[in-house]
């Protein structure tokens, strides 16, 4: 009977070692089949990478193209006003002058003798308001401040 056990071919499942080898081979084949099936199911990631690269490039281009405006907004301190903020240095100086005159009007103090930086003309001062004598020189329709509103107004 010993001869019958030894005469069985290897891997036939008659002894314990061959059963272990058969189980390991089955596990290996199952893993290979699962990997092939998974690789077949997944779409290629190349198109996703291309979309990501395109989005990053679009964001970088947007930032690059808007960099001058971003720098101007962050570096240049513009005086507070109501209305447009698209102004140059002389318009900003005019708005600062309007702030000073309107503050003196509210406090009842002596009004400073300031002139418009564009036209060098004195500001138009009425009982309750002060306005720029040449708003068109600033590219505006109206540029004024008054006693009641704390913030100057720039109307383009």
Sign of CA dihedral 120, 107, 99, 153: negative
Residue 144's closest CA among 109, 97, 106, 112?
Answer: 97
What is the mean predicted confidence (pLDDT) over 119-124?
91
Q: Residue 146 domain-assigned? A: yes
145 pLDDT band (50/70/90 cuts)? confident
pLDDT at 94 over 50: yes
Residue 2 clears pLDDT 60, i.e. is over it: no
Residue 14, domain member (yes or no): no
**Structural domain includes residue 127:** yes
Q: Tell me, what's the pLDDT at 87?
A: 74
Average pLDDT of span 132-147: 86
Question: For residue range 31-79, what is the model confidence (pLDDT) as tens digits?
Answer: 998 888 776 666 666 888 889 999 999 999 999 998 887 776 666 566 6
pLDDT higher at 32 or 154: 32
In a domain, 136, yes or no: yes
Q: Is residue 144 part of a domain?
A: yes
| Count of domains forming the chain | 1
Q: What is the pLDDT of residue 92?
A: 85
Which residue segment(s) compose the domain that 91 sits in? 78-155
**Helix (H/G/I), strand (E/B), else coil: 42:** coil
Residue 110 CA to residue 88 CA, distance in Å, equals 29
Query: Which segments within 22-152 are labelled E, that is strand?
Result: 82-83, 124-125, 129-131, 142-146
Q: Residue 83's pLDDT band (boundaries 50, 70, 90)?
A: low
Asked, for residue 143, whether it belongs to a domain, the answer is yes
- C-alpha dihedral, 85 to 86 to 92 to 97, nearest 10°: -60
- Domain-embedded: residue 139: yes
Whole-angstrom Cα distance, residue 81 to residue 71? 20
**To the nearest whole percent, how much of the chain has pLDDT over 90?**
17
Average pLDDT, the chain: 80
Query: How many CB atoms are located within 10 Å of the residue 36 CB?
Result: 10
Residue 5 lies in a domain: no
Query: Can you give the pLDDT at residue 60?
Result: 94
For the chain, give the percent of residues with pLDDT over 70. Answer: 76
E-strand stretches of the chain: 82-83, 124-125, 129-131, 142-146, 153-155
């Amino acid at each position: 009977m010993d001869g019958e056990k030894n005469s069985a071919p290897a891997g036939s499942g008659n002894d314990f070692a061959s059963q272990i080898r058969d189980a390991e081979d089955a596990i290996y084949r199952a893993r290979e089949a699962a990997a092939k099936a998974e690789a077949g199911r997944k779409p290629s990631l190349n198109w996703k990478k291309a979309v990501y690269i395109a989005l990053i490039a679009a964001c970088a281009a947007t930032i690059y193209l808007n960099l001058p405006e971003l720098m101007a907004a962050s570096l240049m301190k513009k005086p507070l006003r109501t209305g447009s903020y698209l102004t140059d240095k002389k318009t900003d100086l005019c708005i600062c002058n309007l702030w000073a005159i309107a503050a003196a009007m509210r406090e009842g103090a002596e009004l400073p003798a300031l002139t418009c930086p564009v036209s060098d003309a004195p500001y138009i001062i009425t009982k309750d308001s002060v306005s720029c004598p040449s708003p068109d020189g600033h590219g505006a329709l109206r540029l004024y401040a008054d006693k009641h509103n704390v913030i100057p107004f720039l109307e383009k």
